[in-house]
Structure 1
Amino acid sequence: MGVSLGASEGVAGSVFAARATGLVKLVGLCLMAGVLVAALLFPVVGGLGLASNRAADTVDQTSGELTKAELPLVSTVLDMNGQPIAYLYDQYRVPVASEQISDTMKAAIIAIEDKRFFEHKGVDWQGIARAAAKAGVDGGASQGASTLTQQYVKNYLAFVVGKGTEDAYEKATEVSLGRKISEARIATQLEQKMTKDEILTAYLNVVPFGNQTYGVGAAARAYFDTTPDKLTVPQAAMLAGLVNEPSRLNPGADVDAAIKRRNTVIEKMRENGAFGSDAKVAEEKANEYKAADIGVVPDLKLLPNGCVGAGDGPIYGFFCRYLIDYLDRAGLPLDEILRGGYTITTTMDPVATREAKNAAQNQVPKNQPGIANAMAVVEPGQDKHRVRALAANRDFGNNAEAGQSAYSIPAEVTRFGAGSIYKVFTAASALERGVTGIDRQIDVPKTYTSPVYKDGNRGYTVKNAGDYPEKMTLTSALAQSPNTGFVILQEKAGLNNVVDMAYRLGLRESMQGVNTEGLPLKADGSNGPSQGDQYKQDNSGSFTLGAGPTSVLELANVSATIVSSGKWCPPTPVEKVVDRNGQPVQLKETPCDQAVAPEVANALANGMSADTKPGGTAGAAAGAAGWNRPMIGKTGTTEHHMSVAFMGATPFYAGAVMTFADGATPEAICPGNPPYLCGRTNNNGVYGGQVAAPTWFNAMRVLHQDKPPANLPGVDPRYR
């Protein structure tokens, strides 16, 4: 008869194998314990290459940092009234003091993670011995491996120093003797520098709880809409159970696994005496707690994060996006904002923003294919030009099919021009250089071929789009916008001076920050020159007709500069920034400068005052809105009607609107209700007075309701 192995022999083989594995782990744990002791007692273990004086210095530095750790915190963005409009963070954390954490929460985390927490001094030698003994019996080695103090060190290195990156986490948790020695040494030093309660509180403020929540303050709110001092036993047990594997044990991912883990914590709490010394009573309480529902709020109370999700994201997001870019240029980069716990008070006016949004969307629905309608509002001033609103018919977001855009349409340089608004720069340069005055007649022929500008081998020829008298005052020309008169003025003032005037009055990024395609200039200059320099190099007579890329916000700031008596200031979205300690943060903002003499600016303002009156290109829009205030204004339309614009200001508010084709294949925009795309070229396209100007007036009419009447400044006779 043949011999075969029975089931009992197979099991015996498995047991033998397990014991062999356990023996290996036992030896390994004993060796690790011995080396840890040696490393803790002797800073220099040169022969093993495990530690050095230099490493000891690093340990000392790290333990020092851990005693006064600055944790990554949420930065809050406020509107001009102090109301939150956005939150920016890498880690949602609400730091809490020890007295703000319930004893129940502390008991739960100690019971499941480190029941001898109050007995050891950073490294649990009994726990290691117990783990070694268990490894020798059944191959396990899960108990006593890491104390809460060591876990604090590990989480600090992974999520504070390492910013939660995958590499940092792997480095902080790698299975190596060197790391364990370093971790143990730091832990023992911490126990000498911090009380047990301080370590426990620090740990509960650092550790992740899943769903981008870090620390018990954020976790209590996110999962239970409460504060850590009010956590019940089942709630505290669930949170304590999460820290083991936040993703797998997340109640949103697997409720059964979360309840099972919670009940394990409750049982450990009972064993640790958290429910009293009476065994029967303790067991009854534990069973009662285990029977409780999971209790997590249906929609987790997670703090919205970023420009899309926070506040009224679809409306406020454009301002938020500009704010981030502005702060980066001013020396406060986004990665610092996401961790720094700053409070950023902005200049954003929620009323102005909503009115601009409504006006833009009423003219062009947000889901209208291929047409964007954007508005910027700036408050004039001598010391600051505060951005009050950045809005568009589009919502801010990532879903293009739903009429959303994730770049700041009103603030960034668009690839389309503002048309005849650029004639303002020609007029300003002509006034400054004494070429003309606002009441002097300028030549306005029907057709004009320039002897200065070239179109290939021929002279540059320009025609007027309508019937005009042969001569007009500069004020009338600004209101009615004949092309020929401004090409002639540009010749007399000098193209380079006119381009420079556009920069000086406010088109700074548009002129020097992008190329003629509207693309930001690369640091190496490989896609240059800038738009302004290109016009100068080409001696391009078309500059005054405004075909090149333009920023809506910069247009608004141009009008703010004019009504601020020629004082240019950067369009700022920031009122003040304070750090986590309430200390002001100094930003590197560009100082204001006197772009043109006040007399020139005031004359220009008066020269631009007729566009909104009957006969002006914006007269019909102003009349329809019931507008009767003195103001400056100028419309613009590009040659193929792919973009139109309006720029205007009073002493209270300056603003600009651009309506442009924002699709992948731009087409002309034709007037209608709503406006629509109508082919690559169309002589019946929309004009600035038809869409852009009504948007401006409908928003500004509301914003000026409580403002007193205000006249434009007087004009120095030299510029008449």
Structure 2
Amino acid sequence: MRTRGSLVRMVGLCLLAGALVAGTLLPVAAAVGMVANGASETVESLSAELADEPPPLVTTITDREGNPVATLYDQYRVPTKVDEISDAMKWALISVEDRRFYEHHGVDWKGTIRAALNNTSGGDTQGASTLTQQYVKNYLINVTYRNDKAGQQRAQENSITRKLAEARIAIQLETTMSKDDILAGYLNVVEFSRQVYGVGAAARSYFGTTPDKLTVAQGALLAGMANNPSTYDPWAHPERALERRNFVIDKMVENRKLSKDDAAEVKREPLGVLPNGPDKPAANCVGAGPENGFFCQYVEDYLLEHGMDKDDLYTGGYTIRTTLDRAANHAAKESAEQQVGKSEENVANTLSLVKPGKDRHEVVALAANRDYGPDAALGQTEYSLPSAISNVTGTGSSYKMFTAAAAMDRGVAGIYDTVQSPSSYTSQVFTGGGEQCPRVARGTRAYCLTNASEGGSGSMTLQTALQTSPNTAFVILEEKAGMDAVLDMANRLGMRKTMASNAATGAKPDPGAESAEERQSQIEFFGPSENSPGKGSFTLGVSPTSGLELANVAATILSGGVWCPPTPLAAGGVTDRNGKPYVVEEEQCEQAVPEGLANTLAVGMSKDDLAGGTAHAAARGVGWNRPMIGKTGTTQHNGSAAFVGGTPQLAGAAMVFRPDRPFGGLVDGGPGNVRATENDSGNMFGGKTPARTWFGAMSKILEGQEVLPLPPADPKYERMN
């Protein structure tokens, strides 16, 4: 049976050789049933890909100045032209893999016949593949089928069918590409182990050099690895790698590309690779570092949400110029860490900054006290704390600005009109209160509430109410304006993903909560099971919130009511591997509310930093003297808090919350002394940690910039009663 099988293989190889000589490979193969119908078209198509389409490349993310921030890739590859590769590297590869490379036309007849005789006689299997054929195989494995294990296996199976197709492609390829281009193509596509592909990346990550400077010893090491990268990995198997390298050097001598004396000297050199494995950039946003990683992650999330395929993002070789201001991001990170240590258990402190404008809202900074990274033991996280809907317990009274805007929009009250603010209040419109509230029907209680310690009592202007934040005043305004108007206003001003999330639009408490106490905490935050933000608690900010969207609300107000998507992309900032613009279809800016309403709301929110305002102490701590808008917020049990504000140049939102076990309290003992409690007690307020974070960063970022006034109020929205 073995003799018969050998004869069959010999006949097949003879057919292969004859077909190649006659130039009629595919008709012959089809006649003996070895290649399926349509193979010719496949060969033509793949030949065109090899000639014209480059393999996966590295995508680079930069800051607004064009300086690299991070790289995204599936295969680390640095495209290299043939004249950028040293002769030592090229001749090392040719000598060990295909010494007649410049003589054949894609298939080496001598090698093919030798391998056929050896294989059919029961000797060691020999492939006899030329570099052109190996280029075809490596392209199939590393490019065409890189995400298809079955395809990769087919591309390297030991069968006549595969050899036929591979040889035909190699022959055709040599009619469309020069020898040097084929050599460069191979050296750009081949793997060198550990996610390093191509000689350009290998030169950098193995030796810290460029491919044009590769020495004989270095080139021989890399050429020897191409045959079996994992076996000859110089860090994992240094002895094997050294033996293989020296074997390649001997082949260079045989091929008359190196003298015996020079070879002997080169073989005495150590491997010379960089210590501790290849020096290559991180393949994702971890490479942006602990400070800029959150911004990088938002860039990735934003592009995927706007239609880019993730595989394309990681292999397309794009250059993505972002709006990241490194100095601002550093100031934001520094301020967040000054208030809350990066390793503080279960406490996240974030700051998101957006530049106002009527044609773009550029994201300037996304920072957190925690470092961006994969090591949870060091307090790191790869969750998008400053941009995602990460604060599940809400931002408290900061949502009162939506109620104020809705009241102005509906003609209920202007900023200088007097509003009621009793010390306690029982709503006749909303239900869903706790056991302390009157029962209005079986199983249903009215919604009742009192003012927090940072609120006022009696009556006051709407502007003063925004400054001092009494709960009762805004629930009463919520009744008068109508819940639909308040919810719509939150969406219009910028809380679009937040409002669309399940939790923000009425998610019920989690039935899988571990304890009765946890379920009760959820009920207190979200309301009873039938409750939703359609109840009176919405204006008190109980909904999960994105800090970035909250910052963009301030940007919308300071842009005359023009909402734009918070973009991390500089204008025209995405280009493909060829330097051509890649168009990202972003949402169009829109006049979300009348300009007069937005300007008047800004005036209404302009007193929070002044004496009597909830953020006054934080503002005074940095000597703040700029016109601004601001609103603090604190949730039930002091478990999370926020400050949202801005100037005409820059808007932002700071949030402090419990990211891991959300329900419970936070204690603020001053800068650097903030911790989560094991119960519902706490003393956190928006005027403490969040406001100090906001003012600490903004005072540094805006230092030296012009002090600009807020826009004037529109009389239409000043008084309505």
Q: Is the 8 A contact 2:191 2:226 kept in 1?
A: yes
- In the alignment, does 2:281 pair up with 1:304? yes
Displacement of 1:163 in angstroms is: 2.7
- In the alignment, does 2:62 pair up with 1:74? no
Q: Is the 8 A contact 2:608 2:631 kept in 1?
A: yes
Please point out which of 187, 199, 216 is paired with 2:199.
Answer: 216
Please point out which of 590, 602, 609 is paired with 2:587.
Answer: 590
1:139–1:163 CA distance, 2 compared to 1 (3 A): closer
Instruction: Tell me, in whole angstroms, the C-alpha distance in 1 between the residues paired with 2:703 and 2:376.
Output: 35
Partner residue, 2:677? 678
Question: Which digits, 9 at most, give the CA deviation of each residue in 1:57-80, with x for residues without a partner?
Answer: 111111122111222111110001
**Root-mean-square deviation (Å):** 2.2
Q: Is the 8 A contact 1:78 1:84 kept in 2?
A: yes
- In the alignment, does 2:474 pair up with 1:486? yes
Partner residue, 2:322? 346
Normalising by structure 2, we get a TM-score of 0.91
Partner residue, 1:614? 611
Instruction: Tell me, in whole angstroms, the C-alpha distance in 1 between the residues paired with 2:7 and 2:81.
Output: 40
Displacement of 1:164 in angstroms is: 5.4
2:192 partner SS = strand
* 96-105 or 295-304, larger mean C-alpha shift: 295-304
Question: Which digits, 9 at most, give the CA deviation of each residue in 1:636-668, with x for residues without a partner?
Answer: 000111100000000011000110012236320
Displacement of 1:137 in angstroms is: 6.5
Instruction: Tell me, in whole angstroms, the C-alpha distance in 2 between the residues paired with 1:24 and 1:273.
Output: 39
Q: Is the 8 A contact 1:566 1:597 kept in 2?
A: yes
Partner residue, 1:604? 601
Q: Is the 8 A contact 2:449 2:472 kept in 1?
A: yes
Normalising by structure 1, we get a TM-score of 0.91
Please point out which of 559, 564, 568 is paired with 2:563.
Answer: 568
Please point out which of 476, 496, 502 is paired with 1:508.
Answer: 496
Give the 5 Å matches for 1:141-156.
Answer: 141-142=125-126, 145-156=128-139
Instruction: Tell me, in whole angstroms, the C-alpha distance in 1 between the residues paired with 2:580 and 2:690.
Output: 43
Partner residue, 1:470? 458
Partner residue, 1:550? 545
Instruction: Tell me, in whole angstroms, the C-alpha distance in 2 between the residues paired with 1:568 and 1:36.
Output: 69
Instruction: Tell me, in whole angstroms, the C-alpha distance in 1 between the residues paired with 2:92 and 2:85.
Output: 12
Partner residue, 2:110? 126
Partner residue, 1:140? 124
Please point out which of 44, 51, 56 is paired with 2:40.
Answer: 56
- In the alignment, does 2:173 pair up with 1:190? yes
Question: Which digits, 9 at most, give the CA deviation of each residue in 1:597-649, with x for residues without a partner?
Answer: 00000000000011111111001111111111110000000011110000000
Q: Is the 8 A contact 1:308 1:314 kept in 2?
A: no
Task: Please tell me the residue identity of whatever aligns with 1:200.
Answer: L
Question: Which digits, 9 at most, give the CA deviation of each residue in 1:427-479, with x for residues without a partner?
Answer: 00111111111111101111111111113533211211247341100011001
Partner residue, 1:110? 94
1:419–1:36 CA distance, 2 compared to 1 (3 A): farther
* 297-306 or 599-608, larger mean C-alpha shift: 297-306
Question: Which digits, 9 at most, give the CA deviation of each residue in 1:263-316, with x for residues without a partner?
Answer: 0001111111112xxxxxx221221111111111225553312444324x1111
* 661-670 or 44-53, larger mean C-alpha shift: 44-53
Q: Is the 8 A contact 1:225 1:301 kept in 2?
A: no
Partner residue, 2:448? 461
Please point out which of 626, 650, 656 is paired with 2:653.
Answer: 656
1:327 partner SS = helix
Instruction: Tell me, in whole angstroms, the C-alpha distance in 2 between the residues paired with 1:136 and 1:492.
Output: 92
2:312 partner SS = helix
Displacement of 1:134 in angstroms is: 3.5
Task: Please tell me the residue identity of whatever aligns with 1:512.
Answer: A
1:147–1:517 CA distance, 2 compared to 1 (3 A): farther
1:123–1:30 CA distance, 2 compared to 1 (3 A): farther
Give the 5 Å matches for 1:36-435.
Answer: 37-38=18-19, 41-44=24-27, 45-51=29-35, 54-135=38-119, 139-142=123-126, 145-163=128-146, 165-275=148-258, 282-299=259-276, 302-311=279-288, 313-414=289-390, 415-435=392-412
- Unaligned runs of 5+ residues in structure 1 are 1-19, 276-281, 521-530
- In the alignment, does 2:427 pair up with 1:450? yes
Displacement of 1:223 in angstroms is: 1.2
Please point out which of 688, 697, 714 is paired with 1:716.
Answer: 714
Question: Which digits, 9 at most, give the CA deviation of each residue in 1:159-181, with x for residues without a partner?
Answer: 12123553332121122222111
2:137 partner SS = helix
Instruction: Tell me, in whole angstroms, the C-alpha distance in 1 between the residues paired with 2:689 and 2:457.
Output: 27
Question: Which digits, 9 at most, give the CA deviation of each residue in 1:226-270, with x for residues without a partner?
Answer: 222221111110010010111120111111111100000011111
Instruction: Tell me, in whole angstroms, the C-alpha distance in 2 between the residues paired with 1:74 and 1:519.
Output: 41
Instruction: Tell me, in whole angstroms, the C-alpha distance in 1 between the residues paired with 2:283 and 2:248.
Output: 35
1:519–1:315 CA distance, 2 compared to 1 (3 A): farther
Question: Which digits, 9 at most, give the CA deviation of each residue in 1:407-430, with x for residues without a partner?
Answer: 110000021201000100000011
Displacement of 1:719 in angstroms is: 1.4
1:213 partner SS = coil
* 43-52 or 242-251, larger mean C-alpha shift: 43-52
Question: Which digits, 9 at most, give the CA deviation of each residue in 1:176-234, with x for residues without a partner?
Answer: 22211111111111122222222111111111111211111111111111222221111
Partner residue, 2:512? none
Give identity over the alignment, percent.
48
Displacement of 1:131 in angstroms is: 2.0
Instruction: Tell me, in whole angstroms, the C-alpha distance in 1 between the residues paired with 2:534 and 2:600.
Output: 28
Displacement of 1:126 in angstroms is: 1.1
Instruction: Tell me, in whole angstroms, the C-alpha distance in 2 between the residues paired with 1:519 and 1:291.
Output: 70
